[in-house]
Amino acid sequence: MLKCNEVVQNASAYLDGELPMLSRWRIRLHLKICENCQRFVAQLRLTGSMLRLHQRDEHGDGSDPEVDSLVQKILAANRDRRP
């Protein structure tokens, strides 16, 4: 069974589909029983989606004021939490 820190270390590659099948299976199994890692992976997935939307907007592929506003709120919240 994977430990939480192993899931965290491999979460990005997992979401990007870059892991071998056995590694993906082990992460999925861990996610079935660990709510904290479920939340972490869900937040990482959401963050990646938001960044892709934001990058697309920066390259002139269309702008969505709601997405821009949400991205700015997320960035501001992250700045406020830093020590």
In a structure prediction context, what are the per-residue pLDDT tens digits for the chain, which is 83 residues long? 899 999 999 999 999 999 999 999 999 999 999 999 999 999 999 888 888 776 665 555 555 677 677 777 877 776 766 54
15/57 Cα distance (integer angstroms): 22
Domain range for residue 72?
A: 4-81
User: Residue 3 class from Cβ within 10 Å (0-12 exposed, 13-18 middle, 19+ buried)?
Assistant: exposed
DSSP state, residue 19: S
How many domains does the chain fold into?
1
Measured distance CA(38)–CA(2) in Å, rounded? 13
Give the pLDDT confidence score for residue 74 in this predicted structure. Answer: 77
Q: Look at phi and psi of residue 80 and say left if phi exceeds 0, alpha if psi is from -120 to 50, else beta.
A: alpha
> Which pLDDT does position 62 carry in this prediction?
53
